[in-house]
Structure 1
Amino acid sequence: MLDSFSFFNIIEQFIIGYFLTINTVYLALVVGALIYVRKQMLHPSVVKADALFKTELFKSISILVPAYNEADNIVESVESLLKLEYPEYHIIVVNDGSTDDTLQRLIEHFNLTETDIYFEEQIEHEQIRTIYRSPDTAMLTVIDKKNGGKADALNAGINIADTDLVCSIDADSILEQNVLKKLIQTFIEHKNTIAAGGVVRVINGCEIENREIDKIHVPKNFWARLQSAEYIRAFLFGRVGWDYFKSLLIVSGAFGIFDRQAVIKVGGYLTNTVGEDIELIVRLHSYHLRNNEDYQIRFLPEPICWTEVPTDYKSLRNQRNRWHRGLADSLWRHKYMLFNPSYKHIGMFVMPFFLIFELLGPIVNILSYIYLIVVISLPTYFNLTFILLFLAVSIIYGMVLSLIAILAEEIVFKTYDDFKDIAILSLFSFLENLGYRQIHAWWQFKGLIDFFKGKKSWGKMVRKGFKE
């Protein structure tokens, strides 16, 4: 039988090994991302994209904007989309049964009139009430439909779109003007690309003029500052790193481009999940690997989408709870891929990593901190070595990685002009690991419990809208 000290020792070895493993994987992602970003900087994508467009090799694209009660942002969002630099694109706003004046603001601002459009319903969705077009803005279509959720709204937009590609963005997002030129390049150069995502940044705190971002600043709100640091690490070095290892499992629902026929082939977005973005990507992986079809799902570090993030505790908690329920739902639906060699590295490494370290990570995090408190409070078993190692691999290691992400992002892309903004982000890269990450683990743990309870709601989100 194990004595108490041996039992404690086994637990401590597991905890140290767990945090060391996950942070080492993150370090590998950072290294991979740095190699990739350096390669990208040596071959500017916009220059290559402009050359490709002169040969008329570009693909047509429809930008899908699902909108539910987005009256504060919707006009500004659409106006910014109308200024994108791209030879041929269409904007399809899907009013998903809003109860505010989202639709009325669109009708009045863009002088919309009812029209009839024939389309083939290749993906099921809730009933479309009316389709609107503008005599002044031919590239804009507005769909008014019965409420069915974001995924259902996107499916309606995919059916009506008559283009090679579809781009899904949130109604509270603004795209940089050359973003399509940058991101579309991978679809032109690599014919087997079926999906691609780009970097998402926090718009809170930025100065907006004529519906474009004029000056970039960090937010003034405490919660938004934490998310600014979090987004830089997660997108620039998390997803770029996964892309480097050809293992991308998530294309953000805030901004992603897809081959329209590939999405139709797998049945569109699922409407009975709160994680429609990750679920679609996993299903695309599953379909193409199962059928031995050549494909790529890419993430590029340059394209930037600016989005409004929650600024109050409750909204942020609800969002992260939903994200974790979405991850749990996707892994459960596609559990047949786990440790299945038929699905290659996605089934053998990527999905097990997301299961063990991303989905179940909050449980290990919470239990580890409880154990740390127990160890500290026991005079007969005060293990200073364990305490120092735990702090090193779970907190200090994370701080260093976050700071590397902030500084490298600024060196490569020079997003922020003001040194004060860089200093604030650097500070919050430390604060993110002290308190916020632990609270975040609790939100995720509650999300996991809610998943097992069968909770499907999105949770209330408070929007403040873009400010000129």
Structure 2
Amino acid sequence: MSYIAEFLPHYLKFIAIYFFAVNSFYIVLFALALLSIRRRTHIKPLLGAQGSSYGFSPPVSIIVPAYNEEKSIVDSVHSLLRLKYSRIEVVVVNDGSKDGTFEVMKKACLLEPDEVVRMSNLSKNNVRGIYRSQIHPNLILIDKANSGKADSLNIGMDYCAHDLVCAVDSDSLLDDDALLAISMPFVENPDTIASGGTIQLANGSTFKNSRLVENQMPDRWLERVQIVEYIRSFFCGRVGLDMLNSTLVISGAFGIFRKEAVVAVNGYQTTSLGEDMDLVVRMHRKYRDMGKKYSIVFLPDPVCWTEAPSDLKTLGKQRRRWQVGLLQTLYFNRDMMMNPRYGIIGLFAFPYNFIVDILGPFIEFSAYFAIAFGLALGTVHYEQIMTLVVASLLYGMLISVGAVVIGELYYHRYTRVRCIALLVFSTVFENFGYRQINSYWRIRALIDHLKGNHSWGDMKRKGFAKNRGS
């Protein structure tokens, strides 16, 4: 017991150093993100002028996998059909939905049976039927038995007519110019094989005719805290990592890929719960192994609006799935870790994700136990606890507030002072309860992963109609 009593103060010092180092690196990402956003702000008008003629926009096929999405699928498809883009094809894949997803689409879009040529064979499953809209000739629906999101994306890819393919969640809405912005890297650099955009939460906001009318804060603190989390993750984390050429994730809710690159890695992995991250990592691996020049980028300005879980049960399922997907991807590609063959991806991106996202929750929870035991044994003093609080909580809140400020200064998502104030206050609220339960979910995810429990879990949705203006 005396050994433990002597060890605890040193361990708490180590944890404080860990959080100080992690948050300090986040400050570096914060600075890099600011540089990237400022640069994008300066060239965005030029891109808009270039794209306004639509002659520079390459044709894109948009795949929308849908499972039990009757509440949001029509709004989502209509928003895609109205995008400021000249040549698009929308491919909805009904993944054996048990609700009225197929029926509402058939009625709203006047779907009739059609024949479409299969361009590749990423999926081994057959389809039950292919339908084309009589009012939107560039809209087709593929109906198939349930086989999961990854296989739905593969089947959609097989029937896409264009070389660039955009994957969009069926419960998401895009800004009018989002597709134009996210496709520009393919015009600017022919070596681009993937491009991702920012995901923002629609909870509390007002939508009319599938378009954002006013961005507002939701009533529930659980949803408000998630908005802060997304702002920090996308406006700082992912933009900063992109500046370091370390993008490992392009969100499954909104990303665009060169089809030949997806085919080269045999499509989406159907056994992975994080099929979006898994695909990007395998792309890095494939092109590094081939010694072929390539570029995978993340952009802060194309925005996709999606719905955040509004209850703890649904949120827990989502976070567990994300964490298991991360664990699967890192494990399946573990030989890339610290391997010079894979450049900055192997030497930095992999270790960063392991140290921060895998070890982080365990280190945080161990700190709470160390504090409790240390106080009980009388070997930990309040000065040491305050050092840990400053290094982990206060430093982290500073980063979150900075992310909110960046988002508002450059993108003006929220126009009301009250909304901005609630965002800032949510950075405080996040650290007392939400952060701890999130770490708990991630720890449970590792246990599930080790047990081989890789079930998906249903997600409960309200749909955009609930947030839509009259």
Q: Name the TM tier (shorter chain).
A: over 0.9
Structure-1 residue corresponding to 2:383:
385
- 3-state SS of the aligned residue for 2:296? strand
* Mapped contact 2:61–2:89 kept (Cα < 8 A): yes
One-letter amino acid of the structure 1 residue matched with residue 359 of structure 2? L
Question: Aligned equivalents of 2:265 and 2:72: distance in 1?
Answer: 32
Task: Give the C-alpha shift of residue 4 in structure 1.
Answer: 5.0
Q: Deviations over 1:69-106 (max 9, x none)?
A: 00011111111111100110110000000011100111
Question: Which is further off, 391-400 or 221-230?
Answer: 221-230
Amino acid at match of 1:8: L
Structure 1 residues 274-423: aligned runs within 5 Å:
274-378=273-377, 380-423=378-421
Determine the structure 2 residue equivalent to 1:459: 457
Whole-angstrom distance in 2 between the partners of 1:153 and 1:4 = 53
1:450, 1:167 → 2: CA distance?
Answer: 31
Taking a change above 3 Å as real, the CA distance of residues 43 and 334 of structure 1, as seen in their structure-2 partners, is: same
Deviation at 1:226, TM superposition (A): 1.0
2:150 match: 151
Per the alignment, in what secondary structure is the counterpart of residue 381 of structure 1?
coil
SS at match of 1:136: coil
Extract structure 1 runs of 4+ deviating beyond 6 A: none
Equivalent residue number for residue 447 of structure 1:
445
Quote the residue 2:266 is aligned against: 267
Q: State yes or no: 1:24 paired with 2:24.
A: yes
- The 2-side partners of 1:295 and 1:88 are apart by 25
Q: Give SS of 1:128's match.
A: coil
Where does residue 65 of structure 2 map in the other structure? 66
Are residues 1:137 and 2:157 paired? no
Q: Tell me the equivalent position of 2:12.
A: 12
Answer yes or no: is the 8 Å Cα contact 1:33–1:241 preserved in 2.
yes
CA distance 1:4–1:151, change in 2 (3 Å): closer
SS class of match (2:302): strand
Instruction: State the alpha-carbon separation in 2 of the partners of residues 124 and 72 from structure 1.
Output: 27
Q: Deviations over 1:379-422 (max 9, x none)?
A: x3132332111001111111110011111211111111111111
Amino acid at match of 2:35: I
In 2 relative to 1, CA 128–50 (structure 1 residues): closer, same or farther, beyond 3 Å? Answer: farther
Contact 1:175/1:305 (8 A) holds in 2 = yes
CA distance in 2, matches of 1:4, 1:313: 36
- CA distance in 1 between partners of 2:347 and 2:165 (Å): 30
Q: Please, what TM-score do these two structures have when normalized by structure 2?
A: 0.96
| 1:53 CA drift (Å) | 6.1
Aligned length: 465
Partner of 2:41: 41
Taking the aligned partners of 1:389 and 1:199, their CA distance within structure 2 comes to 34
**2: CA distance, partners of 1:238 / 1:270:** 25
Structure of higher RCO (CA pairs closer than 8 Å, 6+ residues apart):
2
Question: Is the Cα–Cα contact under 8 Å of residues 8 and 380 in structure 2 kept in the other structure?
Answer: no
- For 1:28-67, what per-residue CA distance to the aligned partner results, in whole angstroms no more than 9, with x for missing partners? 11010011111111222x5324425648332110111000
| Superposed displacement of residue 7, structure 1 | 2.3
Distance, in Å, in 2 between the alignment partners of 1:29 and 1:198 is: 17
Give the AA of the match of 1:304.
V
Question: What SS does structure 2 have at the residue aligned with 1:388?
Answer: helix
Does structure 2 conserve the Cα–Cα contact (< 8 Å) formed by 1:96 and 1:153? yes
Query: 1:110 corresponds to which residue?
Result: 109
Equivalent residue of 1:360, what SS?
helix
* Equivalent residue number for residue 95 of structure 2: 96
- Please give the secondary structure, in 1, of the residue aligned with 2:24: helix
Residues 163-213 of structure 1 deviation map (CA, whole Å, 9 limit, x = unaligned):
121111111100001111111111100111111111110011111112211
Q: 1:284 is paired with a residue of what secondary structure?
A: helix
What SS is found at the alignment partner of 2:128? Answer: strand
Amino acid in the other structure paired with 1:439 = I
> For residues 299-323 of structure 1, what are the alpha-carbon distances to aligned partners after superposition, in whole Å with 9 as ceiling and x for unaligned?
1111000001100110001100110
CA distance in 1 between partners of 2:195 and 2:6 (Å): 49
Instruction: Report the Cα offset of residue 10 of structure 1.
Output: 3.2
How many angstroms does 1:377 deviate by?
Answer: 2.7
Q: Deviations over 1:83-141 (max 9, x none)?
A: 10011011000000001110011111111100111213321242211000012111101
8 Å CA contact 2:54, 2:85 repeated in 1: no
8 Å Cα contact 1:125/1:155 also seen in 2: no
Q: Percent identity?
A: 38
Distance in structure 1 (CA, Å) of the matches to 2:189 and 2:51: 13
**Contact between 1:199 and 1:300, CA under 8 Å: does it hold in 2?**
yes
CA distance in structure 2 between the partners assigned to 1:323 and 1:254 by the alignment: 13
Instruction: Supply the AA of the counterpart residue of 2:280.
Output: I
What are structure 2's unaligned runs of at least 5 residues? none
Per the TM alignment, residue 339 of structure 1 is displaced from its structure 2 partner at its CA by: 0.9
- CA shift for structure 1 position 338: 0.4
Contact 2:119 2:161 in 1 (8 A): no
What secondary structure, in the 3-state scheme, does the structure 1 residue paired with 2:182 have? helix
Q: Describe the superposition over 1:425-451 as per-residue Cα deviations: whole angstroms up to 9, x where unpaired.
A: 111011112221111000100011101
Distance 2:153 2:54 in 1: 31
- Whether contact under 8 Å (1:126, 1:147) holds in the other structure is no
SS in 2 for 1:66: strand
Task: Compute the displacement of 1:336 (Å).
Answer: 0.7
My pick for the range that moved more, 369-378 or 52-61, is 52-61
1:453 Cα deviation from its structure 2 partner: 0.8
Task: Answer yes or no: is 1:249 the counterpart of 2:251.
Answer: no
User: What amino acid is the match of 1:463?
Assistant: R
Other structure's SS at 2:79 match = helix
In the aligned structure 2, how far is the partner of 1:121 from the partner of 1:459? Answer: 30
Q: Secondary structure at the match of 2:464?
A: coil
